[in-house]
Structure 1
């Protein structure tokens, strides 16, 4: 049996929001506000959770908080996703590099989602691979398309409890009903 390594997913949050085709429209939106920005960030976190499914042991989205004196670099959990804003004075790149290095040292498979050349030059190799921001955007679009098709297929016919019961159980239930 093949050795099954633990898998870690690390996403360069703002890089994906700026570079990923799925999220690019937010940059040019006329109603670019703090609230809109938060909505897009939340959409990314939701998309990351959907992408990760049950395949990854650890899922982290890192946002750059290095210019914000209020940022302490604490990890927040939103569902299965750990969200980290890099601490004041440190870039998201440094946090991603540390997370990837630590996971590689533990012999985990690591997928880093980024289009940042600096990170690519620093962390990739060995058990660390990369997916571009656009590649991730395309994967998420495919996931959403599949969900729409599956949802549409499910609604084409009426599903009842009787459809899921064994025929003998259904006959017994019908017999009981008829005696009433």
Structure 2
């Protein structure tokens, strides 16, 4: 079974305290931080992740980019993220694919659910990402209990480079 996570970008940013505060002064940084956090999520889960942003801040034609392994779509000027998400569900839905949609918009949750996709409230996604970050931090810290297994300790620069490689940067 292939899992796909479609994320309503501005909806998740609005539900995430840290990103919501950052967005007040710098939309671009909030978007980039969300992309970074979703790339961690993608690396751990192996899911295909598609991030949708309404184009009201970037008017014009629909644009698609790939940052890390995250597909980022800015809708065209007259198209809302909800419309794009519903269109993607229709396009991607099949018996071998399970689609999850992250949004806090209740109307959108019911719309995607009625199309056979699974609802994932923004808060749930934020909590999952927090759990992943805590697990990664715990597993990469050098302060582990001594054991009989020989370990190679890496300095912070090498560890950071390996982490970037793992995330596809």
TM above 0.5: yes
Pick aligned residue for 1:7 from 3, 6, 11: 3
The answer (yes or no) to whether the contact 2:12–2:122 under 8 Å persists in 1 is: yes
The answer (yes or no) to whether the contact 1:6–1:56 under 8 Å persists in 2 is: no
Question: Structure 1: 5+ residue runs without aligned partners?
Answer: 165-180
Correspondence list, 1:124-163, <5 A: 124-125=113-114, 127-152=116-141, 154-156=142-144, 163=150
Question: Structure 2: 5+ residue runs without aligned partners?
Answer: 152-169
- Give the Cα–Cα distance (whole angstroms) in 2 for the partners of residues 104 and 38 of structure 1: 31
**Structure 2 partner of 1:177:** none
- Give the Cα–Cα distance (whole angstroms) in 2 for the partners of residues 140 and 42 of structure 1: 15
The answer (yes or no) to whether the contact 2:86–2:112 under 8 Å persists in 1 is: yes
**Structure 2 partner of 1:51:** 41
> TM-score, normalized by length of structure 2?
0.76
The answer (yes or no) to whether the contact 2:44–2:132 under 8 Å persists in 1 is: no
* RMSD of Structure 2 on Structure 1 (CA): 2.7
The answer (yes or no) to whether the contact 2:4–2:97 under 8 Å persists in 1 is: yes
CA-CA distance at 1:52 after TM superposition: 2.1
- Does residue 1:19 correspond to 2:15, yes or no? yes
Q: 1:107 to 1:101 in 2, by over 3 A?
A: farther
